[in-house]
Structure 1
Amino acid sequence: MTYLSVCSGIEAVSVAWEPLGFMPVGFAEIEKFPCELLKQKYPAVKNYGDITQYEKWNIGQFDILVGGTPCQSFSVAGKRGGTADERGALMYAYLGIVETYRPRWVIWENVPGVLSSNSGYDFTSFLAGLEECGYGWAYRVFDARYFGVPQRRRRVFVVGHSDNRTDLAAKVLFEPESMRRDFKKGEEQKQETSENVRGSSEITMYLAHPSDSRFKEAEKTMGSVTAHYGSTGGGNTSLIVEPTYFRRGGNYKYHRDKKASTLRNSASPDCFDLVLASEKKYIRRLTPLECERLQGFPDDYTQIEWHGKPAEQCPDSLRYKAIGNSMAIPIMRWIGERIKRIEEKIK
């Protein structure tokens, strides 16, 4: 199967789908660092750049359109400009690509905040746009921690199929067992998955930033509290494992003796550091390699040559942002596998 990946970033989609035999016909990315990575990793695939210029692309036919348009204006951590923000309005450019090229499948990803943005009108207008183009659709919120990576990352995934095949779109996102309301079986699966994910991350961490004037005081009061936590930075891209430890718009919550206190941090989101809860407390930065593993990327995937310097000198800040703005690879592979299975049955 062939696919066009838009808002490509560092191409989690291609990493996820390469084992499935899917072939990219093109990318669409404008950020400098991801563009350079795409050039080095996928030299034979054309980067079409700005998705608002889709009418000039002349790509031809492909099977799948996939991409997650910018989420900042939809996130509950931001100003929530929705589609009134030019970044949020890019979802209409995505619909323009759907209307122009009419791929058999469409996959769109965004933050859960899109469901309530503009009282739900923004998301409704996106789904209505798919219907106007003749697509049946289904959507579901997935959390990456249930797909084998040690982070909590909830995202909305919309799958559409041409010829108004809502049934096929639903088969991608929903399992027959859950539709039959088999509560006992579902509960057993939930417990098994949670235990596996929890066991995959043995290091206990706190997220904070040493530039905050209250950081040292907070460090002293945290004691031996434990919580799994990871973050890649990059705006609305927090990666979290335990549900009681979370970040929202610069707010960091710690728990000690079941009492919560909040430390506000207005520092750069690209420079998150970690306090490890152990017998000997110390501070260190979450490494880019750890962030790559949180998303399911191969080790050192984002370590590329940059501005004539060797890969070993690639700036960490650029890597953090690119990884944080990407997708969880296991989820994309799961979706791809189910599409492939459906296509094989149809044939």
Structure 2
Amino acid sequence: MKYLSVCAGIEAASVAWHDLGWEPVLLSEIENFPRKVLAHRQNAIDARKTGAAARGVPLWGDFTAMRPRFMKRLGIDGTIELVVGGTPCQDFSVAGKRAGLDGARGNLTLEFAHLLRRTKPRWFVWENVPGAFSLNSGKDFAAVLARFAGHAPGSAFAVPKEGWRNSGVVPPAGPGCYGLAWRVLDAQYVRMDSAPGAVPHQRKRLFIVGYLGDWRPAAAVLLERESMCGNPPPRRKPGQGATHDIAPSLTASGRGVERNGESRGQDPVVVHGFGGGNTNGPIDAAACLTAKGQRIDFEIETFVVSPQEENDNIPLAFDCKASGRNGFAVGDVAPTLRAMGALHSHQNAGGQVAVVNRGEVRRLTPMECERLQNFPDNYTLIPMNRRRPISFEEAKYYWRQAEPGIKCWCENRKWYTNAAPDGPRYKALGNSMATNVMRWIGKRIEMVEQIINERIAA
């Protein structure tokens, strides 16, 4: 399968689909740091350079400027079988200004539809936030479905009285148009070979899959019959029995009460959520990581507690984003990673994720965020073309990572590195997709393609 990826970011699609044997023929991304990651990890070459397609994967900038003549020049005209993209979500998200399709970023969804008409791939995959359902009383999502399905500009479906559901299908408007299926998927429930226990990350995202000329293949990809939206998240560790029917005594300090000759387990640890309101208490998923405005701050960040006296410990995620009637909560699943800060907690966002380790609060590291998105460790740790000062402890950390191209050195008793700073890494990961979800979609498309080809051959 040859595909074009727009708004590629750090390219979750290519990480997810590499083992399927799928080939990216063109990537499109405008932000500087993700482009550097693509060049380092995906062998992406600036499309303006001579022979880019022969030396690697051509890397385009603004996908709205793509024209057939440019693709023909790159030798990929007519070869694209799938287009994938997650257009910017800020105008759709409940954390943003909710400008919808009228916003500059929201309008890129309509540009994505224009790109589909120009390239005519057999499949497409579009990703965004569930907040798209409620924009403009649901009318914006109706317009998106209409445009993707091939209806004329300005046309839209009627919004259901009860609002848009989390899944559905749309038939194509006519010959040469796309049939659609949409569904909201949460990364913490999606098991794949690369993530057999899914990921401990609450990340709900809206996916639309389209197939040229028919809605049934798209529905077969997203709407599998055995799926149940209400299933609990997968178990991520072996089942454990209770050490005692009744917990040992809780005390302010010490090990509590223990009878002579009696063996017992570790005293229980009681963790209280910070703040009050209707979200105080334990949660299953930590709040979103943001990519800017990060600070150790109980107003916007989520924290994790690790009751640690020895090497084995169980971290607990804190949803530390509290405001108004929303308090703090704790749990063992990270909330949605995001690329921006927000002042108000909600189901699509939250605040930063952090951990308490031996009584000290810290935010999650970029590597831990990579794991929450099911990326390889240090995927976003790349060499940059400029140096920055670091501490000796940071230098030791980078040495231990042994990443190719990462250097640390000392000049005049000061340490420096060319490693990417944490800020752009957080932002890129918050903007990306969970690769276990993208791999699941890719495997489903591969399965449906095989069924279609077998029927054609018969």
Q: Same fold (TM over 0.5)?
A: yes
Corresponding position of 1:233 = 290
CA contact (8 A) 2:287 2:352 kept: no
Tell me which residue corresponds to 1:84. Answer: 102
Deviations 1:229-263 (A, max 9, x none): 25431379x9999999585999973149xxxxxxx
Identity of aligned residues (%): 41
| Alignment check: 8 A CA contact 2:187 2:437 kept | yes
Given the superposition, is the C-alpha separation of residues 293 and 134 from structure 1 closer, same or farther in structure 2, using an over 3 Å criterion?
Answer: same
Secondary structure at the counterpart of residue 61 of structure 2 = coil
Note if contact 1:75-1:113 (Cα within 8 Å) is conserved in structure 2: yes
CA change 1:251–1:152 in 2 (3 A) is farther
Q: Does structure 1 retain, via aligned residues, the 8 Å contact 2:301–2:353?
A: no
Q: 2:384 is matched with which residue?
A: 306
Richer in helix (by share):
1
Cα displacement string for residues 17-50 of structure 1 (whole angstroms, at most 9, x for unaligned residues): 0011100011010000001111112221111110
For 1:245-260, what aligned pairs fall within 5 Å after superposition? Answer: 245=319, 253-255=327-329
TM-score by length of 1: 0.78
Distance 1:114 1:329, change over 3 A: same
Conserved 8 A contact 2:291-2:424: no
Give the 3 Å change call, closer, same or farther, for CA 251–4 of structure 1 in structure 2.
farther
Secondary structure in 2 matching 1:332: helix
Secondary structure of the structure 2 residue equivalent to 1:176: coil
Listed as ranges, the gaps of 5+ residues in structure 1 are: 179-185, 201-218, 257-263
Change (3 A) 1:255 1:273: closer
Query: What residue in structure 2 maps to residue 72 of structure 1?
Result: 90
Structure 1 residue aligned with 2:77: 60
Q: Aligned residue for 1:37?
A: 37
Q: Tell me by how many angstroms 1:196 deviates.
A: 1.4
User: C-alpha distance in 2, partners of 1:27/1:17?
Assistant: 14
Tell me how far 1:120 sits from its aligned partner: 1.5
> How far did residue 93 of structure 1 move?
1.1
User: In the alignment, what sits opposite 2:134?
Assistant: 116
Partner in structure 2 of residue 10 of structure 1: 10
Matching residue's letter, 1:253: G
Aligned partners of 2:216, 2:422: CA distance in 1, in Å? 44
Q: Deviations along 1:105-142, whole A, 9 cap, x unmatched?
A: 01000000011112212211111112216100010000
Q: CA deviation at 1:303?
A: 0.3
* 1:250–1:265 CA contact under 8 A, matched in 2: no
- Quick one: which amino acid aligns to residue 274 of structure 1? A
1:126 to 144, 147, 150: 144
RMSD: 3.6
Is residue 273–residue 282 contact of structure 2 (8 Å, CA) maintained in 1?
no
Offset at 1:199? 7.6
Aligned 8 A contact 2:7 2:87 in 1: yes
SS at structure 2 position matched to 1:306 = strand
C-alpha distance in 1 between matches for 2:301 and 2:375: 14
Aligned pairs (5 A) from 1:266-277: 272=352, 274-276=354-356
Q: Quick check: 1:72–1:88 contact (8 Å CA) kept in 2?
A: yes
Aligned residues: 306
Largest Rg, 1 or 2 = 2
Give the number of the structure with larger relative contact order, counting CA–CA contacts within 8 Å between residues 6 or more apart: 1
TM-score (norm 2): 0.60
How many angstroms does 1:226 deviate by?
5.5
Following the alignment from structure 1 to structure 2, what is the Cα–Cα distance between the partners of residues 123 and 199?
A: 42
Given the superposition, is the C-alpha separation of residues 127 and 235 from structure 1 closer, same or farther in structure 2, using an over 3 Å criterion? farther
Aligned to 1:157: 207
8 Å contact from structure 2 (residues 189, 234) kept in 1: no
Question: Conserved in 2, the CA contact under 8 Å of 1:251 and 1:265?
Answer: no
Structure 2 gaps, min length 5 = 44-55, 151-175, 191-197, 240-271, 276-280, 294-299, 305-315, 331-340, 388-404, 407-416, 454-458
